Structure 1
Amino acid sequence: MDIRHLNYFLEVAKYRSFTKAAETLHVTQPTISKMIKAVEEELGVLLFDRSTKHIELTDAGRAILVQAQQIVHSFDHLASELADVMEMRKGTIRIGIPPMTGAPFFPAVIAEFHRLYPGIRIRLIEEGGRTIEREVENGSLDIGVAVLPVNEAQFEVLPFVVDDLKLVLHPDHRLAGRESVRLEELRDEPFIMYREDFALHEMITTACIRAGFRPNIAYSSSQWDFISEMVAVGLGVALLPQTICRKLDPGRIAAAKLEAPAISWNLAMIWSKDRYLSFAGREWLRFARTTFCLPQPTQEE
């Protein structure tokens, strides 16, 4: 059994599917099934219960999972540290980005980074902000983009966007044409909201409760363009970052400043204080500081 076997095992455990794991690893499904079977025979235990639609870890599989994660993580760190020592400007950065932030900020930045560092591969994973925080913490991601605040005892934080949410609504809505709207005025409105794994879902819900009501969530989505289209056809109101609102068609969607309270949308790149950050990851952060015109650190990351 080698590190590749453990990687295959971890991917199957993550997706609870041989087919999905094979797609992620770019191998055939029979290849990964054969590899897992070989590991089970070598260890003398069944790692997965295959009797259900979605395979599940057995007790033995769950016991091995923790050790396998630690071994693979240590191996990855060893490879990264060796590459740093040898000054090989190669590697992979796993960056988690909420769908709301990808298109407005990152395509041009990634293109320029790739031009400067063609040997460094950026692997983008789209998830909600809360999921990204968990995956940066457990090492599944090297760097994540999160909505502030986050636990700064746990994460290093590099803020790069300061913005506010605006109310967006159909042009025929009773509140359309107003320069500003108080949050409490949305008490009876159907909300088109972000999914629950988005930090903004929690932030908006908390702000509404403090304003005296719980939002009536009619629809949920992870995509700002889908949210805006549902607003455009009159299915409800939504709160979108001002950066996103600039991209909307004012003939189809009205926007107003939100007040009492205003809700901030402040973004930061985060990475774990307790995990090694590769040369590639440190280069990305240095590049991001320059690109977003952010203050340089006073000492080496």
Structure 2
Amino acid sequence: MNFIDIRHLTYFIEVSRFESFTRAADHLFVTQPTISKMIKNLEEELGVELFDRSRKKLVLTDAGRAIADKAETIVKASENLKTELDDLIGLQKGHIRIGLPPILDAEAFIHILGEFHQLYPHITFELIENGTRKIEEDILQENLDVGIAVLPTEEEEFNHFSFLQEELRVVVPPSHQLASRKRIDMKELEEELFIMFHKDFALHERIHDACRKAGFSPKTVSETSQWDFIGKMITSGLGISVLPWSVAKLLKEDVRLLKVRNPVIEWDVAIIWGKNHYLSYATREWLRFTQERLLENTSD
């Protein structure tokens, strides 16, 4: 059996309702020969007669009644599907799952989400906090649509849009012996106790690499996923940390921020999404809108 056009079923429903080819044709704004041909084609496709044409008015056969019970359900489902697709394409609905690292200063990002919501109030968001490595994994497993991550990522796996590049700062309490300095060498931190983000965060690896380049392995006293805990631990005398400048400046505690060299440590933050992964209409529009707004903010 070949695919049956929904129009065949629609015409069949109308003919059975009006019990007349002519009245059904008038209602559907088609000619009577057109609708008669459609019904004949449907009967040939199904291999049964749908109407008893021997009487003054059309009467459904047993096969016709059996088909009629299903035809209206199929046509209604098709109409509902079209409405659903129209809503999606017209961005009247949608759901976007976004992975965010908790170390990100999210104020500007949330502001852009708010602007997007004003334009598309029926699109909903799910914001999930995790480190870059977990965000990458969840995108590949299609548990997330997009994410914010620290570059580099696997180029063959992800598309990305970079929107923030900055140096990291060494963060120490005011009483620290280095607190009066503006800039230090990484080697000078060899004997310090480090407060780190845990291994799911790209910064964990980035800081370890910088220490190795300076000729030592960092002594870690604590690992966390919350940047605001780090400020409290520093002022409590537990150790020092290395944070992106945009995050370090948010610390409420009285701390000192020092530039570091040999090597300079930088991070490059980007929106990432999977290559060759399906993106919903809502996600594609959110990406377009967010990239445009981030570019505007950069140029201001």
Alignment CA distance shift 1:218-1:83 (3 Å): farther
- Please, which moves more after superposition, 124-133 or 101-110? 101-110
Q: Is the 1:84–1:279 Cα contact (8 Å) retained in structure 2?
A: no
Residue 284 of structure 2: aligned partner: 282
What's the Cα RMSD here?
2.1
Alignment CA distance shift 1:263-1:106 (3 Å): same
Q: Distance in 2 between matches of 1:83 and 1:198?
A: 40
State the Cα deviation string for residues 245-290 of structure 1 (Å, max 9, x = none). 22235x7101100111111111000000121111111111111112
Q: Is the 1:169–1:234 Cα contact (8 Å) retained in structure 2?
A: no
Aligned partner of residue 92 in structure 1, secondary structure: strand
Of 258, 264, 273, the match for 2:260: 258
Aligned partner of residue 175 in structure 2, secondary structure: coil
Residue 224 of structure 1: aligned partner: 227
Alignment CA distance shift 1:168-1:137 (3 Å): same
Q: Is the 1:181–1:259 Cα contact (8 Å) retained in structure 2?
A: yes
Aligned 1:1-301 pairs, distance under 5 A? 82=85, 86-101=89-104, 103-249=106-252, 252-293=254-295
Alignment CA distance shift 1:140-1:206 (3 Å): same
Residue 52 of structure 1: aligned partner: none
Q: Which amino acid letter does the alignment assign opposite residue 90 of structure 2?
A: E
The runs of 5 or more residues in structure 1 that have no matched partner are 1-77, 296-301
Shift of 1:294: 6.3
Alignment CA distance shift 1:239-1:205 (3 Å): same
TM-score normalised according to structure 2 size: 0.68
Q: Distance in 1 between matches of 2:284 and 2:128?
A: 18
Q: Distance in 2 between matches of 1:248 and 1:86?
A: 43
Identity of aligned residues (%): 44
Q: Which amino acid letter does the alignment assign opposite residue 289 of structure 2?
A: F
TM-score normalised according to structure 1 size: 0.68
Alignment CA distance shift 1:85-1:230 (3 Å): closer
Q: Is the 1:142–1:281 Cα contact (8 Å) retained in structure 2?
A: yes
Q: Which amino acid letter does the alignment assign opposite residue 263 of structure 1?
A: I
Q: Distance in 2 between matches of 1:174 and 1:287?
A: 47
State the Cα deviation string for residues 125-154 of structure 1 (Å, max 9, x = none). 001110001111111110011101111111
State the Cα deviation string for residues 91-131 of structure 1 (Å, max 9, x = none). 10000001011534422122221111111111000011100
Q: Which has the larger radius of gyration?
A: 2
Q: Distance in 2 between matches of 1:265 and 1:239?
A: 12
- Please, which moves more after superposition, 117-126 or 87-96? 87-96
Q: Distance in 1 between matches of 2:175 and 2:89?
A: 63
Residue 34 of structure 1: aligned partner: none
Q: Distance in 1 between matches of 2:276 and 2:128?
A: 21
Q: Is the 2:213–2:263 Cα contact (8 Å) retained in structure 1?
A: no
Alignment CA distance shift 1:271-1:294 (3 Å): farther
Aligned residues: 216
Q: Is the 1:89–1:279 Cα contact (8 Å) retained in structure 2?
A: no
The runs of 5 or more residues in structure 2 that have no matched partner are 1-80
Shift of 1:161: 0.7
Q: Distance in 2 between matches of 1:217 and 1:162?
A: 26
Q: Distance in 2 between matches of 1:195 and 1:107?
A: 25
Q: Which amino acid letter does the alignment assign opposite residue 134 of structure 1?
A: E
Alignment CA distance shift 1:293-1:272 (3 Å): same
Q: Is the 1:96–1:124 Cα contact (8 Å) retained in structure 2?
A: yes
Aligned partner of residue 295 in structure 2, secondary structure: coil
